[in-house]
Amino acid sequence: MLLLPGMKGVVVGCGKAGLSAVRFLLDRDVCVGVSEGRTADQLDAALTADLQSKGVQFEFGGHTEEFLSSFDFVVPSPGIPLDLPVLHAVRQKGIKIVGELGLAAGLFQVPVIAVTGSNGKTTVTSLVGSLLAHAQQQVFVGGNIGTPLLEYFSSKEQSSVVVLELSSFQLDMAGAFRPDIGLVLNISPDHLDRHHTIDAYVDAKLKLVSHQRPGDRLILGGDDQRLAEITSVDNVDVYRFGTGKRFEAVVNGDAVELNFKENGVLRQETYNLQDTHLTSSVNRLNAAAAILAVRLAGCKREEVQGGLKVFEPPLHRMTEVAVIEGVRYINDSKATNYGAMHAALKGCTEPVVLIAGGREKGGDWQLLRDVVAQKVRRLILLGEAAEKMKQVFGDIVPVAIAESMDDAVQVARRCAQRGDLVLLAPGCASFDMYAGYEERGRVFMESVHRLQHEKKEKGVQ
């Protein structure tokens, strides 16, 4: 979006991403407003005073049509539903609705690699950034992971490449944004409480590629049924990864095999994952996507192989917490939707004691009955979705409902047998009980560590 000094823009929601947008607009001499659902006394008084001293106008305690309509454009934070009546009202008045990606469109002066998908995007984004850094590139990693993407434009550090994790919420308002290399890893029902239909959710994800042009590259999850239907994208070079033999990046055991053209030359390469932290079935696919992306971005084969060996996946994604009395405890709190839970369970070879539940995001639990029947020996449920999940799975697996995470871990301890795996893979959002999946995963790990400490005190290994 072309921003001119003196334009008036209002940011809806002043969380981390919203404040980043405020700073971005102020740096461009835009007259800025903030519409915040919380009351003034719920916010940092020093922060709001500092912004008001810079001319930022505030409304607290809700979003009003009168306030929003006094600006030239509206920037909803990613977590703000776009179907709010007040946003519909200002849109009807011809006021532009633009997201952080729309603000950034056309401003990047270095190549952009953008990653989206229902599952795995945080690991792939982190791995792409790590591999590029191992190849001595100056990398900005941000977006839906860690640092808001607009912080790139205020960073004093020079970057040679930008790597972004993008959610469907961000892509809903992508405007004319386009990545040089885009990755769509997979599509499974998620955030249907926001998008309402799977088609709307898919449309949001595919906005990643809607403005790509000849010379750009698109990497798709080849095993995904919905993505398999995409045969071409307006002369953009399309690559696929997965288990199919004809894909450009193929998972074959503990290796990834590349078969792609680089500057007209056919490249056939093998990358060994045995000495890495990427040997799970889920992470082998994540590695295939990332390896293909960085090779297309110009990294050398030996740089990539060396980078794979030193990479450690982010916490809360199939992270082993402890082994207690022959039972492994795994934290996959990032499994916040059906697809992630399904992928986590499919990759398990041991009988699973599954801890799941939380706040539903829309969808059909019936889709998981087969994998639960195959993999889960005992199901322990938490949170708002517990009763509904018990109704769906109670006839195929013994179910217990826990009052807290600590209670869930204790129930798991009592029913788990040597050789089992206790897996936290909630399949739900965490916001009914926790601030986010990170807090939920941390609480799980603390509960497991307390259990481990108790066992050690009793002399049990």
pLDDT at 189 over 70: no
Give residue 165's pLDDT: 96
Same domain assignment for residues 108 and 91: no
Query: For the domain that residue 32 is a member of, what is the CATH number?
Result: 3.40.50.720
Last residue of a domain, one of 287, 310, 333: 310
CA separation for the pair 201, 141 (Å, rounded): 24
Give residue 172's pLDDT: 87
Question: In this structure, are residues 146 and 314 in contact, taking their beta carbons and an 8 Å threshold?
Answer: no
pLDDT at 191 over 60: no
Average pLDDT of the chain is: 91
pLDDT at 200 over 90: no
Q: Residue 1: inside a domain, yes or no? A: no
Give tens-digit pLDDT for 227-248. 888 877 777 899 999 998 899 9
- Residue 26 belongs to domain spanning: 8-98
Coil, helix or strand for 46? helix
- Percent of the residues in the chain that have a pLDDT greater than 70, as a whole number: 97
Annotate 110-123 with DSSP letters as a single string: S-EEEEE-SSSHHH
Q: Residue 31: inside a domain, yes or no? A: yes
Give tens-digit pLDDT for 75-131. 999 878 888 999 999 999 999 999 999 999 999 999 999 999 988 899 999 999 999
Give tens-digit pLDDT for 20-71. 999 999 999 999 999 999 999 999 999 999 999 999 999 999 999 999 999 9
Give tens-digit pLDDT for 327-340. 999 999 989 888 88
Residues 6+ positions from 348 with CB-CB distance below 8 Å: 375, 421, 423
pLDDT at 1 over 70: yes
Q: Per-residue confidence at 204, pLDDT binned at 50, 70, 90?
A: confident
Give tens-digit pLDDT for 301-329. 999 999 999 999 888 888 889 999 999 99
Same domain assignment for residues 94 and 108: no
Same domain assignment for residues 401 and 279: no
Q: Report the pLDDT averaged over residues 253-280.
A: 91
What are the phi and psi torsion angles at 173 (to 5°)? -120, 40
Give tens-digit pLDDT for 123-182. 999 999 999 999 999 999 999 888 999 999 988 888 999 999 998 889 988 999 999 999
Same domain assignment for residues 72 and 137: no
Annotate 419-443 with DSSP letters as a single string: T-EEEE--SSBSTTTSSSHHHHHHH
With 0-12 / 13-18 / 19 or more C-beta atoms within 10 angstroms meaning exposed / middle / buried, residue 121 is buried
Same domain assignment for residues 243 and 136: yes
Coil, helix or strand for 194? helix
Same domain assignment for residues 129 and 166: yes
Same domain assignment for residues 159 and 242: yes
- Of the two residues 229 and 341, the one the predictor is more confident about is 341
What are the phi and psi torsion angles at 34 (to 5°)? -130, 125
Nearest alpha-carbon partner for 1 in 149, 97, 74, 102: 102
Last residue of a domain, one of 280, 310, 340: 310
Same domain assignment for residues 333 and 285: no
Q: Residue 174: inside a domain, yes or no? A: yes
Coil, helix or strand for 413? helix
Same domain assignment for residues 92 and 109: no
Q: Residue 271: inside a domain, yes or no? A: yes
For the chain, what is the domain count?
Answer: 3
With 0-12 / 13-18 / 19 or more C-beta atoms within 10 angstroms meaning exposed / middle / buried, residue 229 is exposed
CA separation for the pair 331, 421 (Å, rounded): 11
Last residue of a domain, one of 290, 310, 330: 310
Element (H, E) at 75: strand 73-76
Question: In this structure, are residues 254 and 234 in contact, taking their beta carbons and an 8 Å threshold?
Answer: no
Structure tokens at 320: 């082993």
Q: Per-residue confidence at 343, pLDDT binned at 50, 70, 90?
A: confident
Structure tokens at 263: 């500057």
Same domain assignment for residues 226 and 350: no
Give residue 60's pLDDT: 95
Coil, helix or strand for 213? coil
Give residue 193's pLDDT: 53
Q: Per-residue confidence at 205, pLDDT binned at 50, 70, 90?
A: confident
Q: What is the edge-to-edge ordering of all strands in the sheet holding 217-221?
A: 139-143, 161-165, 112-116, 181-184, 217-221, 237-242, 249-252, 255-262, 265-272
Structure tokens at 278: 């990427």
Annotate 282-338 with DSSP letters as a single string: HHHHHHHHHHHHHHHTT--HHHHHHHHHH--PPTTSSEEEEEETTEEEEE-TT--SH
Query: What sign does the CA torsion over 14, 19, 25, 27 have?
Result: positive
